[in-house]
Structures are given as C-alpha cells and as structure tokens.
Amino acid sequence: HLRERDGYAPLYSDFDNFYIRRLQLRINDCFRRPVTGVPGRFITLLDRTSEDFNLSFKLTGTTTETLNMSSYNYLGFAQADGECADAAEQSIRKYGISFCSSRADIGTSDLHLDVEKLVAHFVGMEAASIHSMGFVTNASVFPALVGKGCLLISDQLNHASIRFGARISGSVIDMFKHNDMMDLERVLRERISQGQPRTHRPWRKILVAVEGLYSMEGTMCNLPGLVALKKKYKFALYVDEAHSIGALGPKGRGVCDYFGISPSEIDILMGTFTKSFGANGGYICASKAIVDKIRVTNAGTIFGESPTPAVLTQIATSLKIIAGEIAPGQGEERLQRLAFNSRYLRLGLKRLGFIVYGHDDSPIIPLLLYHPAKIPAFSHEMLKRKISVVVVGYPATPLISSRVRLCVSAAHTKDDLDRLLAACDQAGDVLQLKFSSGIAGGA
C-alpha cells in the first residue's frame, strides 16, 4: 500500500472533509435511507441503528411506512400493479431481463425501435434515440455534438450531468445567471464579437443548454425568451426536460406544450424516463440528421448496455396512457391531478408562511430551511410523523440556502397533502421556519 508518510495521499483522502463535515452535522440520518418495495404514494424505509453514522448500514429488521414526498413519481406510474406492471411482466417473459449487449452490437430490439418512434411522436420531433441512463445521455451526447472550437453556454444551475458532458466535450464553456435572459444576451454579445467585427463568428458552433424545469429551484426555463434570442443570435438550443416531460403542459408534453411553442423551434429536446414514466433511461429528440450523428458518435450508447425489456415496456405503456391511446381518460386524469396537487401544496405552504421557490405549476417545491443545522431537524420532525422528504444542503445548494425538496405526485390525495401541510405547520413552529404570517390568497 502507498503510505501517507511516504508522501502519497490515500485514495479516499479528498472524501475526508466532506464526509466528516456531514458526520459532525449528524445529518447522515436523513440521507441514504435504505428502502424496500415500490416508491409510490407511500415508501417503506428500512430502519437502521441511529448510532450507525457510517455509510454501511446496520439494519434493525423493522420497517416504517411513510408518506412519500421524495420520489420523482410525478404521474404516479411507479407502482407494482396496473397496465404498466402487467405489460412489463409479459415483456420479461418474452425478452428476459437484459439484452446483454450494447445498442450498436446486438442490443437493438423491436422494443427499442417502437419506443423511439413513440417518444419522437410524443415530444413532437422527427426522431429520437434512447439511452440506458439519463445521466449518461447528457454526459455522452454533449461530446458527440460539440468539441474544440465550439462554444457551449450553460445556465448556471444546470444539472451535474450537463456540466459533466460539457466539460468532457472540450468546447469552450461559459455560463449565464440562472434563467436571466439579459445575462445570456450579454454572454452572447461578448463571445460572438470578442474583439472581432460583429459579422465574424469565431466559433464553429454555439450551443445553449438549459433545463425545462430546474430540480433544485422549481423554476421553469424562459422558453419564449430563449427562442427569441436564438432567432437573433443563431445558436442551437438544448433543453433538458428530465423534470418537465410528462409533468408540464396540458398534454404532459413538456415546456413546449406548456408555453404553446412548436418543438421545431428547439434543436434538441433531451429527457429522462426516470421521473414521469416511472422507468429508467434517457432520450434525445431532434432532427433525423442530429439523431443519426448521436447514434454513431456517443460513447454511452456504443460502449454501454442497451435499455432493458421491462423498462422499455414501462416507457411504452405509460406514454400510451398519457397520450390516451390505452386506458382512455386515465392519462388526462393523472395530468390534472398532478397540476391540482402542485398548486394546492405550494399555495398551502405559502399560506402557512413558508418561503418556497419556483413556478406555481412546478411539481417540485423547494421549501427553504436556510440554516444547514435545520436539515437534520426538519427531516427528523417529518420522520416522526411518518413522512419522508428529501433535504438538500451544501454543496448541492449554497451553504445558507438549505432546503427541503418536496416532490408532488398524481398518486397523492388531497388528504395526503393536508397531512403534509399539518406536519410542516408543526415543524415550522418548532424550527422557526415561517417568515411571515402567511399570504391571504393567490399563489
């Protein structure tokens, strides 16, 4: 073994500070909770010993069923029964568990081709390519699209997978302030002219990357503003719809549907199947020419395992339900339920006097705790009331804007949300989280 006294840093050394800081805050208790069963309306936590502030769990053998406000199960498709689960079960009987190959070798089946057609049609683009992980979709598609000599302009709060893909693409990266169109225009002006005559573009390609709905903020991208700037400055636009596809718009088709903007205005609509569809994986929707390029140049698809049969069937079935092709009325009902629940919970929290971030129609509702010490305390107050929530702190947020990220689902009933509101009301008093006496009305 390499020894520290010989001048070598141990391989785990960079982990030390972060890990120990968390231990000191005693917040490990609210992260990495092991669970069992379906992450649906309720989620079952496996109890573990409280003194076990270690990353390997010591389970006590008992469980706690909690109201689940943590999973990205926006449309309630994470369930072990119903149309999706029945179809997925049949799919396993026919295709097995895995294709045991990458897409590029012998891992492209009729299921993949069907899902790609369905997704492209649903999103409203010419073609789609699907990938086995959402993270890897971003991580490997940016390097397939842009590289040396290209400029990639990224929203300051873009997801880690976008930042990862951007970095390994080798392009020059610049950032603009979150959702600030004036700042984006400033970056474009500076980067396009860069001391050159205004007619000269010193970049092979310019790509602007944003998210449809930001998962830590609950903010929606300013799509009309982006499209207007795109027309003026002629860049390509990449929108990550991980949290907006299936969750926003009257037909659940994401931010274009929400704003009434034609998908043809955008170059690339990326999304994941892990949220609204209760499945796994990611997709890219674009013109056929772009999708063909991605198919043959992205490392994730060429060298990684292809999406699996049950997952593909879950995607196809949930998509058809949302689109009303099977179980007519069910998709619409789920979309309406999600829209109602999102507004109901947000408004309820505001009325109680909490500071919540984001757009009124966002199913992600960040409730501000501010002080990092309130992270474990809030989580504990909720667990006492058998509610599980995701709490977020530094480095995922700035140190003093720690928050709870509540994820609303169509699977929640009004009673569930009332139960949550009552629990937040009590926890808010204990932890002094209410910053006003509440609003009288209006979200």
Nearer to ligand PMP, 215 or 342 (CB): 215
State which of residues 30, 133, 319, 356 lies at the interface with ligand PMP (CB under 6 A): 133
Q: Say which amino acid occupies 155.
A: D
Long-range CB contacts for residues 29-35, cutoff 8 Å, separation at least 24? 29/53, 29/376, 29/379, 29/380, 30/375, 30/376, 30/379, 30/380, 30/383, 30/391, 31/391, 32/57, 33/388, 34/59
Tell the smallest beta-carbon distance from residue 248 to ligand PMP (Å). Answer: 13
Token pair, residue 230, equals 């795109």
- Per-residue DSSP letter, 80: S
Q: Which two tokens stand for residue 246?
A: 């299936």
Residue least distant from ligand PMP (Cβ): 134
Closer CB to ligand PMP, 40 or 428, in the complex:
40
How many Cβ atoms are within 10 Å of 284's Cβ, its own excluded? Answer: 30
Q: Which is nearer to ligand PMP, 125 or 192 (CB)?
A: 125
The answer to whether 269 contacts ligand PMP (rule: CB under 6 A) is no
Q: Which stretch binds ligand PMP (CB under 6 A): 36-44, 63-71, 224-232, 240-248?
A: 240-248
Q: How far is the CB of 69 from ligand PMP (least distance, A)?
A: 16
Of these, 71, 272, 313, 388, which contacts ligand PMP (CB under 6 A)? 272
Q: How many helices (H) and strands (E) does the chain have?
A: 14, 14
116, 155, 217, 240: residue in contact with ligand PMP (rule CB under 6 A): 240
Using CB under 6 A as the binding rule, whether residue 278 contacts ligand PMP is answered as no
d(CA 81, CA 90): 13
Contact 24, 372 (CB under 8 A): no
CA of 315: how far to CAs of 78, 85, 236, in Å? 11, 11, 28
List 68, 129, 140, 161, residue binding ligand PMP (CB under 6 A): 161
Contact residue for ligand PMP among 134, 278, 309, 348 (CB under 6 A): 134
Beta strands in 132-259 (DSSP E): 151-155, 172-176, 206-211, 236-240
Q: CA–CA separation, 137 vs 417, rounded Å?
A: 34
- Residue 159 within binding range of ligand PMP, rule CB under 6 A: yes
405 near ligand PMP, judged by CB under 6 A:
no
Q: Which helix (H) or strand (E) holds 86?
A: helix 83-95
Supply the minimum distance, in Å, between the C-beta of residue 438 and ligand PMP: 31
Q: Minimum distance between the CB of residue 384 and ligand PMP, rounded to whole angstroms?
A: 28
Q: Using CA atoms, how far apart are residues 231 and 265, in angstroms rounded to an integer?
A: 9
Q: Which of 6-14, 172-180, 236-244, 313-321 is the region at the interface with ligand PMP (rule: CB under 6 A)? A: 236-244
Near ligand PMP by CB under 6 A: residue from 73, 171, 215, 379: 215
The helix (H) or strand (E) run that includes residue 387 is: strand 387-388
**What length is written for the chain?**
443
Q: Which is nearer to ligand PMP, 107 or 300 (CB)?
A: 300
Which of 215, 313 has the CB closer to ligand PMP? 215
Residue 135 interacting with ligand PMP (CB under 6 A) = yes
Contact with ligand PMP (CB under 6 A) among 69, 184, 206, 211: 211
Where does this chain bind ligand PMP (CB under 6 A)? 133-135, 138, 159, 161, 211, 215, 240, 242-243, 272, 274, 282
